[in-house]
Structure 1
Amino acid sequence: MISLQLIFKSMLRRKVVTSLLLVQLALTLALLSNSSLLALQTWEQLRQPTGLDLDHILYVSLKPTSKNLQEYPAFADLLERQLAAVRQMPGVAAVSHTNQSPLVTGGSNGNVNDENDRDRSNVSTVPQYTVSPDFLQVLQLDVLEGEIPQTVQAWDGDAAIPVVLTKSLAERVFPGKSAIGQMTNAGPVAAVIEDFYGQRSAERVMYNRIQIAQIYGVAWGYGIILRVEPGNTEQIRSQLPDVLKTVDPNIEVFSVRTMDEQLHRMYRNEFGLATLLAVLSGLMLLVSMISSYSNAHFNALKRQQEIGIKRALGASKQGILLEMLTENWCTTVAGAGIGIVAAWLLNQALALVISIPALPVWLPLTALLMLMLCVTLATWYPARIATQVSPATATKTL
């Protein structure tokens, strides 16, 4: 019969070694729990619905290098020629200008409200897109109500430019009634379209406001967004910079990305941190296994006489093996108890710098099971050696 009291006394005889092992196990459990949580969160975020064809929409970020081309009417002429050149590329289904890309952390945004009920209806952070009429064809979004304006309007200040709202935003600002014709602080609502993921920092990621208008200013750059036919993404991506520079060499192309790359880029901090913590967890798990092996091996050597006497008194090999493993299991459980507190503290620290949910109970418990399995594998061989101690060897030294 296994005596837990004797096991605890054995652990206390090796205070320094046991304490170091407890710290290693605690840190390992804390890292395992939080890295798994970050990995699961990032995986869920990457799989969430966006309303977009991620693989066949390209976004080109660029800007004119000539100050003359950054101002109207020269910029309007440049943009028209660029859109025409891209539109003529084989495999391009639709193209539009835009002041910013969907699927970003933050960007150009502002508030939207019902002018007749500002206090109740105000939505503080809504992405604002300035685009061509073909923007919806690029994103393949259906018009649910109203009609999309077909003329790109200039910001002359005399008349409000009609706005297009995504469905979720229209329902939030104008609950229980049609938004078409209603006046917002940005202009009258011309159409309501399907939802799509705009900015992560928006009040709701599916809230978006669109206006068919000229881009207000391009000193910091602008975008061209296009949808390509299946199978043409990489070919068109590689050709786009040359095509645009052929139209006018006085431009700088910053990047050409798919929406899938935009989505991964938006969560790159979480992905990078999850990867770092996973690597650290793996290293800590390896160190803990080595430490557990060393501890069990040293313990078996120190207790050879004791084990031999137990064998002489009739203890079975299986009983000795179970006793050795039980001691390591008790150490692991004790370390895990400290590790649960450490995992919670690490989770609170991470929440100060990134968006991370609270640690669910099942994750530390799962990490404990993994630790138990790894420690068992690491200590089985030293424990197996301990069972081979001959009673005769032990009694010779008495």
Structure 2
Amino acid sequence: MSVFLIVKSLLRRKVVTALLLLQLAVTLGLVVNSLLLASAAKELVDQPTGLALEQILTVWVKPTSKTLRLQPALTEVISRQLTAVRQIPGVEAADFVNQIPLRQGGSNWNIFERDRQDESNVDSVPYYYSSEQIFQVLGVQLITGRLLTQQDWGIDNILLTEKLAKQLFAEQNPVGKVTNNGTVVGVVSDFYSQRYASHPFYGQIIFGPLHRAEQGYQLIVRVAPGQSEAVRKQLAEVIRNAEPEIDIGTVLRMDENRDDVFRSEIGLATLLAVLSGLMLLVAMISAYSHAHFHALQMQKEVGIKRALGASKARVLLDVLSESWLTTAIGAGFGILVCYGLNISLAKVISIPAVPVWLPLLTMLLLLLCVTLATWYPARIATRISPATATKTL
């Protein structure tokens, strides 16, 4: 059947055809952007963090007594808790910290090199108060200089992550440089610090006590491979036994913290993926209904063709050709829809731009779905007998 005759046939059913084209266009736009969001979410979740996610446990703790939330009692409480936690079988290291890595936000300072504030200032850099076992817990490696030790406790000496050091000092040796937050004594390997900081891998580590814990603090624990669940079951009870007057949060593995950070992207991608699947299913049902109804309406025309010698394969191709052309037109509008939807989503969430090949690949997927949906109605059309169809002439 020629394209002209197919278009003429479609125009005889303007409303039904228009609705089918709209459905196909919206389906393609939704599927394309769902695939982009799913890909972006997977990249976020799978990106290297510099942390042994399945070996690190975190738990929020807050003393219920106001006295215990202030110094010097606060340091004594934390010390008792850490001593007890480090004795749990399977625990390799444990420490306190004012905030944990891999979060949406937290405690930040700006940092700049003294005498070069205008040229070197970096805003919103996460800082971590902790002590000697933090490096073992995080698993960071020393890049240059030295690690902080107990002798640095309460002194204005700091460690920087590698990316932050390069941002502040470029190719210069950062060791010995004086910043507004203290003297740099070393640089450690990068780890994912905060999502909405000036850079996710910027961080500064300071040895010193927490002055108060009105908002609580975090205990962060590194366990031996395969021991995270066994330690998790004991951790809350051990901490509470060391100091009963506390509120304690849920014990989480670091990969669970990661999933929570990217929860909105993962949830939206999942939702759109489900909607896309439903839209494809509805498009297939609509294509089936459209083709089946049209095949019934074409009985006379098909009968004449069969009487004139048209083969079943030719009749099958004619019916499928109409579905293919309808899908191609709907997908053409769908390309415009997918770019428009992508621009709208980019205003509220992080989503990659639409690559040229993805709408074309999705068009092929849509064409395959429609072909499968219309195959049975097309087969019905091929079974029309010339004698039966020509009785109405």
TM-score interval, smaller chain: over 0.9
User: Normalized against structure 1, the TM-score is what?
Assistant: 0.96
Residues 152, 213 of structure 1: 8 Å contact kept: no
Residues 70, 211 of structure 2: 8 Å contact kept: no
Report how far residue 217 of structure 1 moved. 3.2
Question: Which aligned pairs between 1:1-398 and structure 2 lie closer than 5 A?
Answer: 2-151=1-150, 161-398=156-393
Q: Matches of 2:333 and 2:144 in 1, distance apart? A: 58
> Over the residues paired in the alignment, what is the CA RMSD in angstroms?
1.3
Structure 1's consecutive aligned runs of 4 or more residues displaced over 4 angstroms after TM superposition are 152-155
User: Normalized against structure 2, the TM-score is what?
Assistant: 0.97
Residues 152, 214 of structure 1: 8 Å contact kept: no
* Partner-residue secondary structure (3-state), 1:128: strand
Moved more, 175-184 or 140-149: 140-149
Report how far residue 152 of structure 1 moved. 7.6
Q: Matches of 1:119 and 1:385 in 2, distance apart? A: 77
Q: Matches of 1:152 and 1:71 in 2, distance apart? A: 23
* Partner-residue secondary structure (3-state), 2:150: coil
The AA in structure 2 aligned to 1:388 is R
Residues 75, 210 of structure 2: 8 Å contact kept: no
Report the CA distance shift for 1:376/1:182 in structure 2 as closer, same or farther (over 3 A).
same
Q: Matches of 1:314 and 1:290 in 2, distance apart? A: 32
The AA in structure 2 aligned to 1:115 is R
The AA in structure 2 aligned to 1:91 is G
Moved more, 81-90 or 202-211: 202-211
Report how far residue 154 of structure 1 moved. 7.1
Q: Matches of 1:282 and 1:176 in 2, distance apart? A: 51
Identity of aligned residues (%): 53
Residues 133, 152 of structure 1: 8 Å contact kept: no
Q: Matches of 1:378 and 1:246 in 2, distance apart? A: 64
Q: Matches of 1:42 and 1:373 in 2, distance apart? A: 27
Q: Matches of 1:292 and 1:6 in 2, distance apart? A: 19
* Partner-residue secondary structure (3-state), 1:63: strand
* Partner-residue secondary structure (3-state), 1:218: coil
Residues 149, 190 of structure 1: 8 Å contact kept: yes
What stretches of structure 1 of length at least 5 have no aligned partner? none
What stretches of structure 2 of length at least 5 have no aligned partner? none
Report how far residue 361 of structure 1 moved. 1.8
* Partner-residue secondary structure (3-state), 1:225: strand
Residues 296, 382 of structure 1: 8 Å contact kept: yes
The AA in structure 1 aligned to 2:376 is Y
* Partner-residue secondary structure (3-state), 2:249: strand
Report how far residue 21 of structure 1 moved. 0.8
The AA in structure 2 aligned to 1:254 is G
* Partner-residue secondary structure (3-state), 1:359: coil
The AA in structure 2 aligned to 1:33 is V
The AA in structure 2 aligned to 1:276 is L
The AA in structure 2 aligned to 1:36 is L
The AA in structure 1 aligned to 2:336 is V
Q: Matches of 1:90 and 1:172 in 2, distance apart? A: 41
